[in-house]
Amino acid sequence: MGRAAKVDRVRNDFLKRISAAEKLVLAVRLLAAVKGAGTGSTLHVENVGQIIELAFLGLCAQWETFLEDSMVRYLAGAKPSGGNAPHLRIGRCSDLTHAYQVLSGKPTYDSSSDYMSWTSPNTVIDRAKVFFKSGEPYASKITQCRDELKRAVLLRNRIAHSSEKCINDFKTAANHYLAPKSVMQGYRVADLLGTPQTKNFAFLAAPAAGIARDYFLAHADMFRHLAQTIVP
């Protein structure tokens, strides 16, 4: 059996992508023009919103990549630099290929063409409990953030789809954050992401004095928190 896989790189890559998304959103907001202006070095506010939504979509996708990449490495014996290796309920996998086969339950699994779903927090927790003692380091961390992760999926789905279900699910999530106010017709995911965060996300430390945190940054901080606690 070869050397254990490395997992710190997975965390660090995710953290870099989170920071890049934050910088992109900050930069594009500075280019926002008054609706209808869109001339010179500015961008139409609708285009700014589209970019912010794509940045959020990317965060959600990278979160799922982080989950898969970290879990297969833990199954292959990886140990994070800031903590102990998880307690495996099965023997250590011989390499990443073997880890993918075990995790998927498919002896012919090919990560370049096959796919596992990581969207549902409950599915991820259940999967972790199969392979790691008490499902750690995933179960308790994801459980703490589960409601926000579920709502993040609703926001992501609304960006990607315009079905009536996705629209209604987004309204439900947005109304939760905006209550007692409610969304108006034409309200976009980008509008919500730019709204100051005033509720939920209790697991996050308060932002530094003078720093405003909107719902985009709250989600970015949530993903950062999860990455740093799942791979310490």
With 0-12 / 13-18 / 19 or more C-beta atoms within 10 angstroms meaning exposed / middle / buried, residue 213 is middle
- Could you tell me the pTM of the whole model? 0.93
- Quick one: which of 9, 5, 6 has its CA closest to 92? 5
Work out the average pLDDT over 180-195.
94
Residues 6 or more apart whose CB falls under 8 angstroms from that of 68 comprise: 116, 118
Residue 49 has pLDDT above 60, yes or no: yes
Give me the pLDDT at residue 38, please: 47
Q: How does residue 77 score in pLDDT terms, banded at 50, 70 and 90?
A: very high
Chain centre distance of CA 204: 15
Encode burial over 3-33: b for 16+ CB neighbours within 10 A, e otherwise.
Answer: ebbebbebbeebbebbeebbeebeebbebbb
Residue 87 has pLDDT above 90, yes or no: yes
Give me the pLDDT at residue 32, please: 80
Give me the pLDDT at residue 174, please: 97
Give me the pLDDT at residue 208, please: 81
Chain centre distance of CA 231: 15
> pLDDT tens-digit profile of 7-47?
999 999 999 999 999 999 999 998 885 544 445 568 888 99
Do 140 and 155 touch, CB atoms closer than 8 A? no
Chain centre distance of CA 5: 23
- Quick one: which of 39, 44, 109, 120 has its CA closest to 72? 109
Q: Phi and psi dihedrals of 32, rounded to 5?
A: -65, 130
